[in-house]
Structure 1
Amino acid sequence: MQNIQALREKIANLANQAKHLLAEKGDQTWSKEDQAKFDGFANEIESATAQIKAIEKMRDIDADKFFENAAPSGKSLSNDTIDAVAAVALYLRHGNNVTAEQAIAIRNAMSTTTPAEGGYTVPSEIAAMVVDAMKAFGGMREVSQIISTAGGNALNYPTSDGTSEVGEIVAENAAATGADITFGTVAVNPYKYSSKKIALPVELIQDSAIDVVAFVVNRLATRLARITNQHYTTGTGSSQPFGVMGRASVGKTGTTGQTLTVTYDDLIDLIHSVNSAYRGRGARFMLRDTSVAVIRKLKDSAGRPIWNPGDNESISGGTPSTICGYPYTVNDDVAAMAANARSIAFGDFSQFVIRDVAGSTSLRRFDDSAFALNGQVGFCGWTRTGSNLLDTAAVKVYVNSAT
């Protein structure tokens, strides 16, 4: 089935050629060839117009069937009962080629924003699908503290390190001395992320056997997840969020010769570089999979492996594996072991905050000629998020030796 946008562009091109022929001949008498040429343009325009009407009629039939199947049992598909996911599916499949009633339903489910700022803001059900898909990549969203703010204005998050603060013994009738708490602030500002445009065949999008919402959302969310996890991990804070590996202080530097490896003693030193108060609050390791492979080969002083397999290394699933008794998160955005590489992190990752701007997840369908001429439909997704480590004492990193 030919794309409507391509047919409209064909009609416009034929009309321009016909107008050019009329202007070129002016008052001259037309030859049979001239008349045949003009009639050819007119016939092709008429044929393309009829084809557009036929496609629009079939799309209306398909859309009506989709709406009927998506409607709750026993309810009419009125504007106030339509399911939000069904409305998004209709928009993804057909764009603006829908009936007036369906267009109203789409607008009710998806709040319109300025196209240059991101198309349609998706309903909460779709936004949740994006977040769930993003959790599956990298690991940062699994272990961090997630906060959601109504707006995207700059946010300075209050911090305070009380690990060195102690009380005192006070004699009878004696006054307590003062020890003010020192507060700091950490910027957790959001950045606007794009999935970049993706092109999908129009036949695939319009195929009723395809769960178009899950298909498109997962594709867009996967791209957003990969770039955001990279920045949550190694972001510099300059035109991008702060990443945990850059913000965390160094807990242990590898001994000379440990450019591609780590020793058991260095891991123990890294663990104990983090205050025991943080170690007792769900501390864990974070490293890439190739570094896990290195550690799995290490033995303690008694010759016992320091990596202990849990049920998740077998077919049963369940108990997580541990390194030196602590769980770990595999994050392949952490640097591989190399000279001066920050290759392992350890600590309380709940002190790392990921900030999402509520209502910022949006998507847009593109039907312009860049896609239409190839029989494709374009999609792009956006979201706003940022991150920072609130307490640099909560997480420490291991740095491989320089030589």
Structure 2
Amino acid sequence: MAAINLKALRERRDATAKNLNALLENNPGDKWTPENQKAYDDGMAEIERITNEIKRNEQLIASVAANALNGDTSEYASQHVKHGGESEETRALRAYLSNGISALSQEDMQRMRARVSPEVANAMRFGPQNAMSTTTPGEGGYTVATEYYNQLIQAMKAYGGVLDVATQFSTSTGADMNFPAADATAEIGEIVGQNAPASAGDTSFSNMSMSVFKYSSKKIAVPFELLQDSMFDIEGYINGLLAMRIGRITSLHFTTGSGVGQPRGIVTAAAAGKVGADGQTSTVTYDDLVDLEHSVDPAYRKGQAVGFMMHDDSIKIVRKIKDDNGRPIFVPGYEQGNPGGAPDRLLNRSLTVSQEMPTMAANAKSILFGDLSRYMVRRVMDLTLFRMADSAFLLNGQIGFVAFNRQGGNLVDVGGAVKYYQNPAA
């Protein structure tokens, strides 16, 4: 099977998107012709075809590591092979994943910032014999090095569109954090006469809190063969699994979390902006999008993070909407995430894809608009990874891994910076 050049596919997609951007910009208003529309439709079809091809090949590459767990040693396994250049932190982590505490020097333990129980400390002094315990993960729990923590956070962004626009920060502890808030959008000053007193105009403050919750990757079982294969990128594989599992659940909670026993998601916290007319349970109109945009105060409609967010299925619907002159309101992006590039745009606003957003259905809050950076994601700078070498795994020829970290999120706003479009009940 020939090697797939994903870079070339992305470049073709970008080139097509730039051509469509130019087509829309050069043919404003009533200059839009049926020929322009055909060129737009053909270009969008080409972008969709290339995008699907990119997704298929990315899925193929991602499946290599999973296949390797079942003993796949085909030529494509080389897609998940290490290629040197690792840091001391990464090397220490790899040693721990492959061989446990007994493989670590004191310097390695410092690099990984060990934080262990007395039982684990005993295992570190006297070697791996305690690893056979069936009740204690005797090979230890570690607070993983900053470098690996940062790699995990970057990888998690692929699973949650909300992380592309939210404000993210880390704290050293998990204590509840309070944010004072005040809605002064209706407050106004006055004119006073000479020597006349100013009127009272006290403002009111509220408090918004943010808690963090402990998330687990669920346990991961890795065969001895992969741990013993020095060419297999075991830390990369574990990193990918952690990002996928923790990334998916936290992205879901940051988007639609109830706020009870879990983070309060941005959809849950947003205010109502526009409800569709009867019969629009699976649609939205051009006028609805304009009304949604203008339901947010102009004070909040500035900045790079202001835009729309919706599920990919909803984007498929809005791509078919045209303005009063028959021009499509959707403009495809190119070189996303790179300097000089542009995201997908809707009504000349940035458009974020979030697969955790509700799809259009009766009463669904399917589209968000506003200053999405007002959503805060907080992480405790503490990713703890346990290596379990007890009989539950050893009898199957495996070593177990599980990771925990703590995260929280909330929309820190009381003035309506983010609002939603809701499909009607019927």
Listed as ranges, the matches of 1:349-368 within 5 Å are 349-358=372-381, 360-368=382-390
Q: Which residue of 1 aligns with 2:129?
A: none
Larger mean CA deviation between 231-240 and 161-170 belongs to: 161-170
How far off is 1:382 after superposition? 1.1
Q: Which residue of 2 aligns with 1:186?
A: 208
Q: 1:379 to 1:71 in 2, by over 3 A?
A: closer
Identity of aligned residues (%): 44
Where structure 1 has 5 or more consecutive residues not aligned to the other structure, the ranges are: 1-68, 73-82
Q: Does 1:86 align with 2:91?
A: yes
Q: Which residue of 2 aligns with 1:400?
A: 423
Read off the aligned partner of 1:398 and give its amino acid letter: Y
Read off the aligned partner of 2:333 and give its amino acid letter: G
Q: Does 1:113 align with 2:113?
A: no
How far off is 1:256 after superposition? 0.3
- SS of alignment partner, residue 239 of structure 1: coil
1:301 to 314, 320, 324: 324
Q: Which residue of 2 aligns with 1:226?
A: 248
How far off is 1:70 after superposition? 8.0
- Partners of 2:204 and 2:171 lie apart in 1 by 26
- Partners of 1:317 and 1:370 lie apart in 2 by 52
Q: Which residue of 2 aligns with 1:199?
A: 221
Q: Which residue of 1 aligns with 2:341?
A: 318
CA contact (8 A) 2:344 2:352 kept: no
- Partners of 2:148 and 2:425 lie apart in 1 by 47
Cα-to-partner distance string for 1:84-118 (whole Å, 9 max, x where unaligned): 221111001111342xxx34233222222347899
- SS of alignment partner, residue 270 of structure 1: helix
Q: Which residue of 1 aligns with 2:272?
A: 250
How far off is 1:377 after superposition? 1.6
Larger mean CA deviation between 290-299 and 216-225 belongs to: 216-225
Q: Does 1:176 align with 2:181?
A: no
TM-score, length of structure 2 as denominator length? 0.71
**Rg larger in structure:** 1
How far off is 1:172 after superposition? 3.0
Read off the aligned partner of 1:113 and give its amino acid letter: V
2:179 to 140, 157, 160: 157
How far off is 1:345 after superposition? 0.5
Cα-to-partner distance string for 1:351-383 (whole Å, 9 max, x where unaligned): 11111112x211111111222122122111111
Where structure 2 has 5 or more consecutive residues not aligned to the other structure, the ranges are: 1-83, 121-135
Q: Which residue of 2 aligns with 1:211?
A: 233
Cα-to-partner distance string for 1:259-311 (whole Å, 9 max, x where unaligned): 01111111111111111111123311010101000000011222121112233
Q: 1:400 to 1:171 in 2, by over 3 A?
A: same
Read off the aligned partner of 2:309 and give its amino acid letter: M
CA contact (8 A) 1:148 1:356 kept: yes
Listed as ranges, the matches of 1:3-402 within 5 Å are 83-98=88-103, 102-110=104-112, 111-114=114-117, 119-282=141-304, 283-312=306-335, 318-358=341-381, 360-392=382-414, 393-402=416-425
- For these two proteins, the number of residue pairs brought into alignment is 319
How far off is 1:384 after superposition? 0.3
- Partners of 2:198 and 2:176 lie apart in 1 by 39
- CA root-mean-square deviation: 2.2
- SS of alignment partner, residue 112 of structure 1: coil
